[in-house]
Structure 1
């Protein structure tokens, strides 16, 4: 049976952990040559070792997503290593609770807002900007961005995160509009509560972590947290030719969270 990403070159940002790591593994299983891009070198190289141990092809490139030059280098170095780029999966993101306990609107420091915006939104644009010259040469070019249900509904302690994720969803549509003439598809997906290190930090920052986790689970029609591996399968679908007539779309992967206004009992 043919693999869905056979010989395609896929760049995955934030691939050292969480959904990015799961997506990098799944793309490699589907035959892709994967670039694990992350600022965390130790965890990134561990992800590469895991992919290789499973029979996949991967290399690590360190990237600072607050640096335009670092992002440009990521794309240039990928093309030099593998001869081009077919897929960019802009997965990396940060939440203000990763950086400060002062996350309400009136307390959030301006510099923290800037960090979240730089990584969650500006870097997504820069990844697209610097990958496009290479994507134009691919016969199956795709960009897969990661937004959030926080692009549509607000969460407490998350003004910067929600604002940037709303921006990612609109950037996805704008990019799809500009790049369609080159045959480059651009889509995003919007996860709800997925069991990742970022979510664990968000929960632990709450006054009552148990209550917050119960609420996040209960907000889903399927009353549990999602798993990174489930999200990775959607990332592969949007990256591969199975979704060849899909662009400018935002896919919910939220356990039904936005389909209702309810709460399952803990």
Structure 2
């Protein structure tokens, strides 16, 4: 597919599995030098090993996105390892069904709400905040790509915290695009539907009526099936350098 990323230094959060892993592999395949970040050390190492085994350039970094100091360390590690940052891909996210069986609005524990908010939205802001000084110095076309969701626009059952935070991702991306355009940093997000990932599988398995929840997951898809991580990776890695005036929110 060519080397569209051509030596760009890319951070991918949540790259130990699912869409994040597929995106890290795709970016490396397009010539990117990728920092594979995940809270799960073995998963991050596995993604990194897959990239390196095919001749790609990658390094793993274990990061708990609920901890500000670890986000700072991720940024510092990237700069020390590869000399800068050109692409920040905020992919990591959690769903309340990952954490508790009690996910309806009236039953959701406050600490689970906080967990989802801290990973899905606050950490995304912090990674941007700490990466911007280095993105400003990029000579290869700096870009921030955030993962929102169709849940940014409509709500799914038992997913109040997830949908609220994904709605926040969409608006935070717009705000970042406005604030960072003066530095020629492009800010985009894409909003995938239901993708074959461990998160979606866990959400499906937790549903009492699996036929009904699969209908909800795929009902808005023009192609009536779950999407595949590799398809998302092609989208995430496809943006070519443009002027900052082109910063926008991308929908899929």
Quote the residue 1:103 is aligned against.
103
Compare 171-180 and 213-222 and name the one that shifted more: 213-222
* Aligned position for 1:114: 114
How many residues end up aligned between the 2 structures? Answer: 251
> Does the 8 Å CA contact 2:182/2:244 hold for their aligned counterparts?
no
- Residue 224 of structure 1 corresponds to 225
> What per-residue deviation string (whole Å, max 9, x for no partner) do you get for residues 126-155 of structure 1?
010000011010021000000001000111
Deviates more, 1:243-252 or 1:20-29: 243-252
3-state DSSP of counterpart to 1:28: helix
Contact 1:34–1:58 under 8 Å retained in 2: yes
Counterpart in the other structure of 1:204: 205
How far the C-alpha of 1:245 sits from its partner, in A, is 6.0
Tell me by how many angstroms 1:251 deviates. Answer: 2.1
Counterpart contact for 1:145–1:188, Cα < 8 Å: yes
2:176 & 2:220 partners in 1: Cα distance? 31
Q: Check whether the contact 1:37–1:60 (CA below 8 A) recurs between aligned residues.
A: yes
Q: Does 1:167 align with 2:168?
A: yes
Deviation at 1:214, TM superposition (A): 3.8
Residue pair 1:172, 1:248 contacting (<8 A) in 2 also? no
Deviations 1:40-95 (A, max 9, x none): 00111000000111211110011110011100110011001100000000000000
Structure 1 residues without counterparts, runs of 5 or longer? 254-266
- TM (norm. structure 2) is 0.96
What's the offset of the Cα at 1:2? 5.0
Distance 1:248 1:188 in 2: 10
- Equivalent residue for 2:187? 186
CA contact (8 A) 2:12 2:36 kept: yes
Change (3 A) 1:25 1:244: farther
Q: Deviations over 1:138-175 (max 9, x none)?
A: 02100000000100011111000000000000000100
Q: Deviations over 1:209-252 (max 9, x none)?
A: 233224423431111111111111111123x42x5567442222
2:160, 2:210 → 1: CA distance? 19
Give distance in 2, aligned partners of 1:227 and 1:56: 22
8 Å Cα contact 2:23/2:236 also seen in 1? yes
Which residue of structure 2 aligns with residue 259 of structure 1?
none
What is residue 250 of structure 2 aligned with on the other side? 251
Q: CA deviation at 1:208?
A: 1.6
Q: TM-score normalised to the size of structure 1?
A: 0.91
Show CA shifts across 1:148-207 (max 9, x none). 010001111100000000000000010011111111010000000111000000101100
